[in-house]
Amino acid sequence: MHNHTHTPHWDIFCAVVDNYGDIGVTWRLAKQLAKEYGLAVNLWVDDLASFGHILPALDPKCPTQTFEGVCIKHWDLPLSQDYQPGEVLIEAFACELPPEVLCKITKAHQAGDKVPVWLNLEYLSAEDWVEGCHGLPSLQRSGLKKQFYFPGFTDKTGGLICESDLLATRQRWQESEQRLNYFTQLGLSGIAADDTVISLFSYETASLEALCQHWSQGKQQVHLLVPIGRSLNSLATFIDPQQDLAPGQRFCHGKLAIHLLPMTDQQGYDRLLWSCDVNIVRGEDSFLRAQWAAKPFIWHIYPQEEDYHLIKLEAFMALYCHNLAPEVADAWKALNIGFNQGSQEALLPLWQQVITAHAALTQHAQKWPDEAINDADLATRLVQFVKNS
Ligand SMILES: Cc1cn([C@H]2C[C@H](O)[C@@H](COP(=O)(O)OP(=O)(O)O[C@H]3O[C@@H](C)[C@H](O)[C@@H](O)[C@H]3O)O2)c(=O)[nH]c1=O
């Protein structure tokens, strides 16, 4: 068996469907594999402009560039950069690999050369069936084997992305009370230590309008920190959609101040989550980072056909709440369901209950990460999975 095309690097292919989740997840994973496992990782991305929103230092015109030890390559059509089969080949979220790549690994297979461990990294779900599907092979017509890698919350799944020093770093940050400094660094002003600060990174929902009305008429000063994006489409009553919006702008309505933020890199976004009293997050990656932030949160799940996302939401909430006091759990669950269904007035008493239970929810949120990670994080399990393949 000759092996000359085989170099021990990993390739991750990511097609940006919409939004930032696909690139967000693969970028986190690539960074961690490079940093903690010393792996040579190529991250192939078809849309560098979108990637630039969460990695502002990226040059969208540059075909190959390295950040945090990861070689980022533009995945164009036809593929203009050479692909050499490495140790592992990951197609993220069932993206279709470029024909040039399939051709190379098929030829290697036919020649009897070693081929990469080929994995389809799937979306995260807390549903029960995930355990049964994690690791299943999918035999290709070419005779090659591809395997499903399912992230998840139990020890029989592929785990959750969490860098080895993340929870300790987050804890130190929160203990040293850096949040007001951080808000200043982000260009925000007028936030006092006792004010309620909420971050908002969601899709469109009518619930936001009702919540903002409620906050504007309340007794407590509320600051809503909004990285510029889709949430603003649901805030038209509070922010005139016709005007030019820019980071740093502030819109005050009674007791509510809405602050516009720039999108930052992932580390900056993590810090934002660590610094707020409540985080409204969405999709897959910000949802997980809100859990690592150990603060109460609302999850705006990515909408799917026939409301399938509500089943995923229920599955996660059942897991998250299993040892939370029932009255707190019920209010928190109902708030999440209502927010995802676009409820308005019905949401307000639930918000009040959740805020009243803020201390209990925070205590729960602090314990949750260890429980969720179980025996090991995703990168650790993935490296082991590859060793066993
Ligand atoms: C607001 C903000 C986000 N981010 C990052 C955090 C995350 O990595 C990323 C956002 O990704 P998500 O939270 O997953 O939400 P999203 O809505 O952007 O992505 C979605 O894409 C769909 C195609 C998937 O099917 C969904 O499951 C979901 O992943 O953006 C920053 O780095 N800086 C910022 O300022």
* DSSP assigned state of 256: E
**Among 289, 291, 314, 273, which residue's Cα sits nearest to residue 361?**
291
- Residue 139: per-residue pLDDT: 87
Give the residue numbers marked as catalytic: 22, 284
Instruction: Tell the residue nearest (CA) to atom 18 of ligand 1.
Output: 20
Please tell me whether residue 147 adopts helix, strand or coil conformation.
Answer: strand
Rounded to the nearest angstrom, the distance between the alpha carbon of 105 and the centre of ligand 1 is 31
Instruction: Answer whether 264 contacts ligand 1 (Cβ < 6 A).
Output: yes
What pLDDT, on a 0 to 100 scale, did the predictor assign at position 157? Answer: 98
**Minimum-distance ligand 1 atom for the alpha carbon of 28:** 8
Ligand 1 site, residue 19, Cβ cutoff 6 A: yes
* Helix-then-strand count for the chain, H and E: 14, 14
* Ligand 1 pocket test, candidate residues 32, 67, 205, 285, most atoms within 8 A of CB: 285
Contact 79, 98 (CB under 8 A): yes
pLDDT, residue 7, reads 60
CATH superfamily of 166-373: Glycogen Phosphorylase B; (3.40.50.2000)
125 C-beta neighbours (distance < 10 Å), count? 20
Angstrom distance (rounded) from CA 325 to CA 378: 29
Break the chain into its structural domains and give their ranges: 9-159+375-388, 166-373
Ligand 1 centre from 90 Cα, in Å? Answer: 19
Please indicate, yes or no, whether the overall pTM of this predicted structure exceeds 0.90. yes
The ligand 1 atom at the shortest distance from the C-alpha of residue 266 is: 32
Amino acid making up residue 299: W
Q: Which residues pair with 119 in a beta bridge?
A: 90, 147
Q: What is the spatial distance between Cα 42 and Cα 86, in angstroms, rounded to a whole number?
A: 10
Are 87 and 95 in contact by the 8 Å Cβ rule? The answer is: no
Q: From the alpha carbon of 19, which atom of ligand 1 is closest?
A: 18
Closest residue (by CA) to atom 11 of ligand 1?
Answer: 21
How far is the CA of 211 from the CAs of 222, 224, 286, 287, 338, in angstroms?
A: 11, 11, 21, 20, 11
The answer to whether 33 touches 39, Cβ cutoff 8 Å, is: yes
Amino acid letter for position 136: L
Report H helices in 65-116.
99-110
Q: How far apart are CA 274 and CA 369, in angstroms?
A: 14
Radius of gyration of the chain (CA): 22
pLDDT tens track of the chain, all 389 residues?
344 444 689 999 999 988 999 999 999 999 999 999 999 999 999 999 999 999 999 999 999 999 999 999 999 999 999 999 999 999 999 999 999 999 999 999 999 999 999 999 999 999 999 999 999 999 898 999 999 999 999 999 999 999 999 999 999 999 998 999 999 999 999 999 999 999 999 999 999 999 999 999 999 999 999 999 999 999 999 998 788 999 999 999 999 999 999 999 999 999 999 999 999 999 999 999 999 999 999 999 999 999 999 999 999 999 999 999 999 999 999 999 999 999 999 999 999 999 999 999 999 999 999 999 998 999 999 999 999 99
Q: Which atom of ligand 1 is nearest to the CA of 203?
A: 17
Kindly report whether the peptide bond that precedes residue 85 is cis, defined as omega within 30 degrees of 0: no
CA distances from 239 to 147, 190, 199, 259 (A): 47, 18, 16, 10
Nearest to 280 by CA among 251, 265, 258, 252: 258
